[in-house]
């Protein structure tokens, strides 16, 4: 499994996942279709499917044009608001592209129909990868726009947080800090809402209430600063005193 990371729109990314034996390719969150197709052509692969995490324009705006340029393309996601959707996915559904397995994980919080995609390859020593859209990011998470704090907590800690620790967001070409789930569990406060230092900082006890308080603190921080990048989010966690210590095996 080869993953090409394609920076777009200043602070976003598209992904092209390639099954190296069959040369079939799957795109994730298409925002700039012509740029994607340039890389498809350069790699010499057959693009068959688009996986969209959620309906927001910076993740789905390219679907309509791409479907026009590539008739028969499958556009998949969990939200009927996704542009050019050909089939709606459900939580726990598994897809197969050659040796690549995809497990669809409904992760509401940022949007009610947000779907993350967990990928692994048979008989491959490389770690699995998760494409989490705006549900989970390096040292942070997306804004909670449509779901409850409890739903967002379950998405982050029970759905994404329970994936294998070695799971990564494939960032081989990405000009930011690479991250694995084990690293996020160490320093991402939004995944550590049940831990005492984070609870103490927020003054809340229930995990969903802790998460809600953290989101409000972040909103206050963002209003006073430029848009928060991964490095700035990590600095924010440091300032809050929320960096954890390595877990004992």
Quote the pLDDT of residue 224. Answer: 62
Express the helix, strand and coil content of the chain in percent, nearest 5 each. Answer: 30, 25, 45
Contacting residues for 133 by C-beta, under 8 A, at least 6 apart: 29, 53, 54, 59, 107, 110, 114, 115, 116, 142
Quote the pLDDT of residue 109. Answer: 94
How high is the mean pLDDT in each 10-residue block of the chain (249 residues)?
Answer: 86 90 97 94 97 94 96 97 97 97 97 96 89 90 92 94 86 56 92 93 94 89 61 58 50
CA dist 209 and 22 (Å) reads 47
Quote the pLDDT of residue 177. Answer: 43
Contacting residues for 71 by C-beta, under 8 A, at least 6 apart: none
- Full-model pTM: 0.85
**Three-state DSSP class for residue 115:** strand
Checking 91-94 for CB contacts under 8 A at 24+ apart, the result is 91/115
Quote the pLDDT of residue 240. Answer: 53
The sign of the torsion formed by the CA atoms of 43, 46, 52, 55 equals: positive
Alpha helices in 28-162 (DSSP H): 33-43, 57-60, 63-69, 149-153
């Amino acid at each position: 499994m080869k993953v090409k990371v394609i920076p777009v729109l200043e602070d976003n990314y598209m992904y092209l996942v390639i099954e190296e034996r069959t040369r079939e390719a799957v795109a994730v969150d298409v925002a700039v279709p012509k740029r994607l197709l340039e890389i498809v052509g350069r790699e010499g692969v057959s693009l068959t499917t688009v996986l969209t995490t959620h309906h927001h324009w910076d993740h789905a705006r390219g679907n309509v044009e791409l479907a026009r340029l590539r008739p028969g393309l499958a556009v998949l996601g969990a939200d009927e608001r996704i542009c050019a959707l050909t089939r709606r996915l459900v939580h726990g559904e598994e897809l197969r592209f050659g040796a690549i397995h995809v497990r669809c994980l409904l992760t509401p919080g940022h949007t009610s129909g947000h779907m993350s995609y967990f990928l692994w390859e048979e008989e491959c020593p490389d770690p699995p990868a998760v494409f989490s859209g705006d549900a989970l990011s390096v040292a942070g998470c997306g804004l909670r726009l449509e779901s409850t704090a409890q739903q967002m907590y379950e998405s982050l800690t029970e759905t994404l947080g329970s994936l294998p620790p070695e799971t990564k967001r494939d960032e081989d070409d990405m000009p930011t800090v690479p991250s694995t789930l084990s690293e996020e569990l160490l320093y991402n406060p939004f995944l550590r809402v049940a831990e005492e230092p984070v609870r103490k900082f927020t003054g809340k006890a229930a995990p969903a209430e802790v998460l809600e308080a953290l989101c409000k603190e972040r909103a206050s921080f963002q209003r006073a600063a430029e848009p928060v990048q991964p490095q700035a989010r990590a600095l924010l966690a440091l300032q809050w005193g929320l960096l954890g210590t390595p877990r004992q095996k």
